[in-house]
Structure 1
Amino acid sequence: MLRQCFDEFTRLFAHACFLISPTGIILRSNAAAAQMLGQGGDLLAGRNITELTATPAGTVGHYLKRCLQSREPVPGGLRWRTAIPGREVDCYCHGYRLLISPDEKEPVLLLRCQLREQAGNSFAALNQTLENLRVSHHKLIRKSSQLANEILEREEVQKKLAESHERLMTVLDGLDAVVYVADMQTHELMFLNKYARDALGLIGSGVGQICWQTIQKDQTGPCSFCTNQRLVDAEGNPTGVYRWEFQNTQNDCWYDIRDRAIRWIDGRVVRMEIATDITKRKKSEQVLEQKNAELENFTYAISHDLKSPIITIKGFLGSLVSDARSGDFERMESDVKRIAKAADKMQVLLDDVLELSRIGRLVNPSAELSMTEAANEAIEDLAAFIKAKNAVVTVEANMPPVFVDCHRIREVMQNLIENAIKYSGSQAEPRVEVGSKVLADGQCAYFVKDNGIGIEPKFYGKIFGLFEKLDPHSDGTGIGLALVKRIVDLHGGKIWVESSGHGNGSTFYFTLPQQQSALED
């Protein structure tokens, strides 16, 4: 720094100037010094002043010593040798003691020389100029010292801020929630915690990527649902937490989200998002909504189906009173039979409803069940019905076993076989086939196939509803297939129907667990 100052102020005048160490080594010289001695400045640096002066070395050393000990300019005279042999010049000199910095113990010497024939009153002005420069130099050193302290303090603050930021990132990285930070202007991701990287299937930190390209999918620009505008006011100041729910387009999970604009470590205002996975809750809500809808339909169906026998009973009770008064016992007997039949219908309906309500509440332990044996047992139970309908039922041998509630799956098999025969239509010889097949995904599906009346595609979903019957004049309450579907659903399976339409028969397929049942989990 002192050498730079030397170069600056020695440009102000044409006097020869030297910067000299305490041992007499020339550290730097100006152009006027090189011109006076007839040598380049690079040839003077590093040489001892005694090599360049004709003044006795002892006298030179004594003068330098006085200059280095004094805090005031020390006048003197030196005779210098020039590059021209035999030519020497006498100079009137002033020596100035300088410190490179307040902590330096070894000062340096600024030596200003003017040819004696040029010396005059200008020395006073030059001395004042040099004094002013020396004072300015000391002020600059003090200012530099203050600035250095301020820099150290700022570095300490920044270090503590960085440590605090690192601790925050460590805490966020350990949260069981998606946490990310994105620049609100460029949408650049600045942080993603481990949970977020795992949830989104990212390789690497994700930092530097664009949030709408990384966290969502199929986006051609910033998301239409981006909350940035909600997080800051008109002046760009954070407004607080904004909470919302959203299904992520990348992994289809539902999240309870809290967004907030914060000041990042580099001063930028960024969006921090903390999102908790609520997929299970959402699925439970959907199941609950479905159950509520089923309950509403169930209530409506029950009230509707119970009205019919109740109306019948009330109507024939009136007739019964009238017949009793007229003494028409034959009609009274007929009325009582009709009332009994209506009561029996109510009993069957209530029994079926009770059976349906028990599914899922009363669960038997899972065990291995041979589907071939289950089908044969169902045929045995339906033997009289099969014989009355002149039906033929064939069963595939050695169908793959399942791990299920055996009692309930026998009910499934019996209901499907009974339905297949019941809806055989005008077939003289109804045929039913029970078997299994491997699906494209490798799952085993069991089926019950008939040659009956068939089902139009528009009724595929309807037939599994409660009290739904495609033929309103057929026997039964319409609960059978609803019961079958519920049993299969509770086992984690799936049931569906395929048919080529009216008169072409139907095939009911269903899947069941091939290993330990989910009912025991």
Structure 2
Amino acid sequence: MIRKKETEKSFAVFRSIFDGMEALVYVADIKTHELIYANKKFMEGVGYDAQKAMEGGKCWEVIQKGQAGPCSFCTNERLLLADGSPAPPYVWEFYNNRNNRWYSIVDKAIEWYDKRMVRLETAFDITEKKEHETLYRQFEKAIETSKKLESIGTLAGGVAHDFNNTLSTIIGNINLAQLGNLDKETRKFLQNAEAGVMQAKRISSKLITFARGGGPHKTQTDIVDLVRKILAAKLDTKGILYTLDCDRIPGRYFADQEQLKTAIGNILQNAVDSMTQDGRMGISIRYMKEDRQTPRIAISISDTGSGISRDHMDMIFNPYFTTKPLGSRKSTGLGLSIAWSVITRHGGNIHVESEKDRGTTVHIFLPVFNNGDIETGPETANGPKIKTPPSSSALKQVLVMDDDALTLDVVSQLLKRLGYEVTTASNGFQAVEVYKTAMPHGRKTDIALLDYDVVGGLDGFQTLKELKKMDPGIIGILMTGHSDYSEIKTYRQHGFSGLLEKPFSMNQLKDKLAGLYA
């Protein structure tokens, strides 16, 4: 009787200790897989009846769901040495499909009280740790993608600038050639060449939007109304069926509306391209406010298209990446790269969920900063306005500054053909010196046509500032191959009266100069 009570007491102590552990513990026969013991945490974790488990239940049917026999990953063979003695403990990680939890596991063979060898398994729930690791990997991947796109964007911006200078030279010389006595066929060839240059300009514009300098110029924006307009343009005109579910967005939201139109439009276009004619789309706009976090607007775009394979998920934001056959391409391949660039410059991010042949959902998250700040664009910014046109002879002197020799030459030739007298400079310091030299001789410059981005010396903004110190009445026109840069959009605040985006045609140059006094 005493021995029985001591045994019961020992078992009670044993059970209290193991039931009090935060780990899941069980013991199973290594040969038969019969479950011999399981603590309380184990039974709670796998959601299995303890009494039923102990009545001849197998470890594989208790722990796993839908198993018809021992698990393929069973560790029993690892736990015993060739002579049948216990091997060192085996540590591994395991995902349980019965309760959808991750565990860090220590398996060890021990000799049971009846001399048979059993597996003692101790499992620690690491689901939260795994989730944090996943989030961290996603964060690292996002940072890596962002750095890669920023690097490519810097390159793209530089290429676009040089490309636009080259296009300016081409279109300028085309326009000069068109002034000659041409036959009908030659004139048609030149018109087609000019159209090709303007098409190239649109591609270059997309590169600039993607590039690092294409910062948002924000104004107060009704995001729901903006999305409705984009849907009307992208989906309604094509008869595509979709649903739209919107929250009310409180407060004020500021964004670069043109850039957001481009970004969201590109994502919508990708969705349209992935679907068959009977495809459907779902768009939702949610206002998300969590404790101590900046409120966010979440725009989700779902489609029933072909989806994205796992192999391609890491590449979808890479410039020019596409799964479309080469002959079927109608775009530049920059759509999602531009979308990523625009959204990240608004302080947001993009998350994509997709499965091959089962559709895609793109989530756009935009932070809402209700700080009341509003930036004014070129059309509303205060800048010099010319109210009284001078005499016709006063519009003869133009100073042109550009560090690209071919661009400088062709713009000068175009101005001369338009009836202006032209002086040139290849940088800001030279432009100031040219002006200083001309002033004592009464050769007053009326208009300064200045390139924004000049290698070495003063840029366009700095040059006009120096010129206005000598002559506050001088009229500034800014030329640029970086029209989407946020700094460029403040040209009026820097004293300029107009902006010419490279490449520009002779007619555009003529209209810009004429419009100064309109």
TM-score (norm 1): 0.42
Higher RCO, 1 or 2 (CA under 8 Å, sep at least 6)?
A: 2
Larger radius of gyration: 1
